[in-house]
Amino acid sequence: MAKRKKHPRLPNGYGQIRFLGKNRRNPYGVYPPAKEEYENGQMKPQKAICYVSDWMIGFAVLTAYKAGTYTPGMENDIQVDDKKNAEDFIQSLLANYNQVQGIKAKEEPQLTFAEVFRKFNVKKFGHEYDAKKVKRTSLEYTLRAGFKNSAALHNRIFAELVTDDLQEVMDACPLRHASIEHIQNLYCHMYKYAMSNNLCTKDYSSYVEITQDDDDEHGIPFTDEDLKKLWETKENEVSEMILIMCYSGFRISEYKTLDVNLKERYFFGGIKTDAGKNRIVPIYSGILDLVKRRMKTHGALLPDRIDIFRDKMYTQLATLGIEKHTPHDCRHTFSKLCEKYKVAENDRKRMLGHKIGDITNDTYGHRTLEDLRNEIEKIEINLL
């Protein structure tokens, strides 16, 4: 695949020319420099000055804007006929601009992927990547794992990376699906940081995808006796949440952002793969009261940090005399219950966010909410 032509990097405070997609008539957006900040220090995005068909035209518009001579519509009169000496012209103009503005030419090389990550790490977690004797969160360990598995990018100039570069690393990773998720998660965090600090002009993390099949089938479901003990202690907040997870089947991280529609009785959300994103799972009638109570009490299904809830879960299971299970085992319990009570296989996969053969939820779109509800309601709660 032919790569887009690279253009000179504009000075800080000059503005941006962003490529918005090849299928647009005017694929380049011309943006003035950001001036206002949000409370968190991120710059507020500016409205585009205009949209143009060629980067050179955008550069001319931006230069006129900086000089105070831009008038709306002037981009329609700019012609780009001879590009032979265009690059030299741009570099000369930028040098003159820097000289007039008193900006010293930057002698340091542009930041590499590894350098951007280390800066992000300090900003996000408050300490250096190599810091000793610091308490690290589960998110930090996840991103560090993703960074280690992205070694092929470490010495690459971050601003020069494109989707193909990022995707190639994910596709070449020989590890399990979960490790590839860590890489994708890393990309998302790094580009969010880089965009807010003018280290790149486009968020390429939003274009990568996990192409490997989900292999998270390894796990130990709760036994019927385990579930009985949990139901007997459903008034306990931790047992309550474990039961909700066992009868809905989302990943633990997905409960942090799920939309809960109590009126129409369904969950909406999901992450990771194309099949898993934005899926609908009916709220099983057996856990409806638990969900209502939890939303009324906390306003969310999982108000705790994942690592904190995991510790609470282990403590509660030990108290009940239940063998140690991970939060992910709840997902396997849901799958087991669906199989036990003859929920249609395609609907089981749909609710778990798995691929249905070579078909994803986006294309396998013939099942209504009520169709899924009829299937999930086949599950029984056996307390005998």
What's the pLDDT score for residue 357?
54
Residue spans per domain, the chain: 16-101, 113-207, 224-376
- Judge: domain 224-376, CATH 1.10.443.10: yes
Contact residues for 139 (Cβ-Cβ < 8 A; gap 6+): none
Burial of 72 (0-12, 13-18, 19+ CB in 10 A): exposed
| Amino acid 6: pLDDT | 73
Give the pLDDT score at 148.
94
Of 35, 5, 322, give the one whose Cα is nearest residue 313: 322
Enter the DSSP assignment of 105.
P
Spell out the residues 6+ positions from residue 281 whose beta carbon is closer than 8 angstroms to its own.
Answer: 248, 249, 250, 266, 267, 351, 372, 376
Report the pLDDT value the prediction gives residue 40, as an integer from 0 to 100. Answer: 63
- 339 Cβ contact partners less than 8 Å away, ≥ 6 residues apart: 348
The answer to whether residues 291 and 247 touch, using CB atoms and an 8 Å cutoff, is: no
Can you give the pTM of this predicted structure? Answer: 0.49
pLDDT averaged per 10 residues in sequence order, the chain, 384 residues: 69 84 88 75 79 87 81 78 54 53 54 95 91 84 92 94 94 83 91 90 87 66 95 96 96 88 91 60 96 94 88 94 91 94 92 64 64 95 78
Neighbour count for residue 155 (Cβ, 10 Å): 10
